[in-house]
Amino acid sequence: MKVINIGSLNLDYVYHVDHIIRPGETESAGDRNVFLGGKGINQSMALAKAGADVYHGGLIGEDGQPFLDACAEYGVHADYIRKIAVPTGHTIIQVDKNAQNSILLYGGANQMLTEEFVDEILADFEKGDILLLQNEVNLLPYIVDQAYEKGLQIALNPSPFNEKLEAVDMKKISIFLLNEVEGGQITGLTDPDEVLEKMREMFPHAKIVLTLGKDGAKYAEGDQVYEQPIFPVKAVDTTAAGDTFTGYFLAGLMEGMPIPEILKMSAKASSIAVTRNGAVPSIPYRSEVMEALKQK
């Protein structure tokens, strides 16, 4: 079974600040670093570092060569990453003294996917393979429809949640990986248990992974429900914690691991990621995650 992730690649410009800037305020940043990021490629890197056979599809500009180098280094198949004459997507990320962030996203090349390119990518995948998507590229409704026709299992991380998702036929999604805010936006509810219950009602055949920040994660599929607490750590940067969880969760699912084991591995991987700066560089390798699990 293969996984193809059609998703974003962003250059993350990360600034450490005392607090997230308020409207009208000017504040000096402590430092600035440029990291490889983007929900799409973060999740592909997490899949690869967890040991999965992952292909990434997406668009970068001439400034995006470091992504191809990183794919080669970490074992993500980059066959479907193309360079175009539009700058790579980028973000401006503020990280405050409590490790919380705010992200300003410029789509750039990520928003230039064409139906022809999507068809070309999907032609190499077949029934049973997994397609992973987030909401940082264009053409999501088209991609979902085409992949569903081909019998691919579609995993959706509906992040960032916005009105573009209204055009996606959510009934075609096999696996939802979302946080409590996104779950609230889909269901109109706020209590995590009610969100999960409503998601089960709305999508009775889907696997649902709901991450809850410091309250851990919940999983539901049919009558089965599991919970996983966090592994408490001193966080320095929470960017890509959710992406790490998503990549590890899918990798475990592809291996057929029991759900409680997958949840534990994914929570441990995220807990390591938040102790490091940046997105792609913060994602741990499987060996490190398994070693850390033995210690606690």
* Residue 10 found at the interface with ligand RIB (CB under 6 A): yes
Segment interacting with ligand RIB, rule: CB under 6 A, options 38-46, 185-193, 264-272, 282-290? 38-46
Options 4, 6, 38, 272; binder of ligand RIB; rule CB under 6 A: 38
CA 200 distance to own-chain centroid: 21
Comparing CB distances to ligand RIB, the nearer of 35 and 125 is 35
Comparing CB distances to ligand RIB, the nearer of 68 and 202 is 68
* Residue 274 found at the interface with ligand RIB (CB under 6 A): no
Site for ligand RIB in 56-115 (CB under 6 A): 91, 103, 105
Cβ within 8 Å of residue 262, ≥6 positions away: 248, 249, 252, 253
Q: Which of 104, 86, 84 is nearest to 94 (CA)?
A: 104
Would you report the helix, strand and coil content of the chain in percent, each value rounded to 5?
Answer: 40, 25, 35
Which single residue brings its beta carbon nearest to ligand RIB?
37
Options 42, 44, 246, 282; binder of ligand RIB; rule CB under 6 A: 42
d(C-alpha 162, C-alpha 230), whole Å: 27
* Residue 136 found at the interface with ligand RIB (CB under 6 A): yes
Three-state SS for 203?
coil
* Residue 279 found at the interface with ligand RIB (CB under 6 A): yes
Please tell me whether the peptide bond between 158 and the residue prior to it is cis, using omega within 30 degrees of 0: no
- SS3 per residue for 38-93: CHHHHHHHHHHHCCCCEEEEEEECHHHHHHHHHHHHHCCEEEEEEECCCCCEEEEE
Options 3, 5, 7, 12; binder of ligand RIB; rule CB under 6 A: 12
**Residues binding ligand RIB: what is the number (CB under 6 A)?**
16
Comparing CB distances to ligand RIB, the nearer of 40 and 152 is 40
* Residue 129 found at the interface with ligand RIB (CB under 6 A): no
State phi, psi for 165 to the nearest 5 degrees. -70, -20
String marking each residue 211-250 x if it binds ligand RIB according to CB under 6 A = ----------------------------xx-xx-------
d(C-alpha 59, C-alpha 89), whole Å: 9
Residues near ligand RIB, by CB under 6 A = 8, 10, 12, 37-39, 42, 91, 103, 105, 136, 239-240, 242-243, 279
